[in-house]
Amino acid sequence: MDAMDASNEFGLENWHDFEVGSRREVIALLRAIAEKNQLIRVLVQGENDVCVTTILQVDADGGKLILDRSINAEQNGRIVQARRVSFETSLDKIRILFATDQVRDTIFGNGPALELDLPPAMVRLQRREFYRMNTPVSNPLRVTIPILDEHGGGSVVLPLSDISCGGVCVFDNKFVLGNTIGKNYENCRIDLPEIGMVSTTLQVRNSIDMTLLNNKANRRLGCQFLDMSRASAAAVQRYITRLERERNARIAGLG
């Protein structure tokens, strides 16, 4: 299992341009992620299964990575039995992906944990278009997506979880779009506050079904921008820059 498997799981191209294959660099990245207590998303292939974990230990001498377990016992079982598990996290605004073909149960600090071999390689996405900004929770960004006549026609308005210069993450809580990878939705419109409306084709690149804390089902679709004009792309960049400034102001206690 190599970095390519993880990058393909997340629908990325040219993954080799961003591969970190040095064992020393891989260990350094994992230790930095652990020190900052960064959350790691765990995806189980074939299950549309996702949970969040953290690194408990980077055992360089033993060649092992120890992770916290999911709070869901059944999910832990699926993770251990899976033939492929992918991981996604971030470090200093850089998206990091890796994968394994085996996760094992173990004991760490007198408690149960998960163990895998140190990944031989990781994907580190430094290009800005892969840097995703979470959209405001209080006033969610929304996308209007036209529905083809054969599927009932009209349009649906759905909230966005995050946005980047390369695409958006759509919460399809109504399960109206389907989850066909590669499907295109044309003439989608996103109203960027204080900036204006942008139009683009959205192509579904990945899909994850989730159960929220209130036990309601939800679907998260990762979509790539296609055929976006330069003006619309520039508007998206301006919006992301504004979100960054607002976030930094809050962190500095000025917002």
Question: Residue-wise over 206-244: b if at least 16 C-beta within 10 A, else e?
Answer: bbbeeeeeeeeebbbbbbbbeebeeebbebbeebbeebe
| Rounded CA separation 146/187 (Å) | 7
State mean pLDDT over 7-17.
50
Angle ∠(243,249,252) on CA atoms, nearest 5? 145
Say which CATH number the domain at 12 has.
Answer: 2.30.110.10
Domain boundary pick from 126, 150, 182? 126
| Rounded CA separation 115/118 (Å) | 9
Residues 104-156 have pLDDT tens digits of 999 999 899 999 999 999 988 765 555 678 888 778 899 999 987 665 678 99
Q: What is the pLDDT of residue 210?
A: 75
C-alpha pair distances (Å), 6 with each of 89, 98, 176 = 12, 5, 28
Residues 29-69 have pLDDT tens digits of 999 999 999 999 898 865 567 888 999 999 999 999 999 99
Average pLDDT, the chain: 84
| Rounded CA separation 90/178 (Å) | 28
Tell whether the model's pLDDT for residue 172 goes beyond 80.
Answer: yes
Query: Total structural domains in the chain?
Result: 2
Do 65 and 10 share a structural domain? yes
Q: Which residue has the higher pLDDT, 56 or 8?
A: 56
Q: What is the pLDDT of residue 245?
A: 80
Per-residue pLDDT band for 4 (boundaries 50, 70, 90) equals very low
The structure's pTM equals 0.52
Q: Which residue has the higher pLDDT, 251 or 170?
A: 170
Do 61 and 118 share a structural domain? yes
Tell whether the model's pLDDT for residue 227 goes beyond 60.
Answer: yes
- The amino acid occupying position 64 is K
Structural domain range at position 82:
3-126
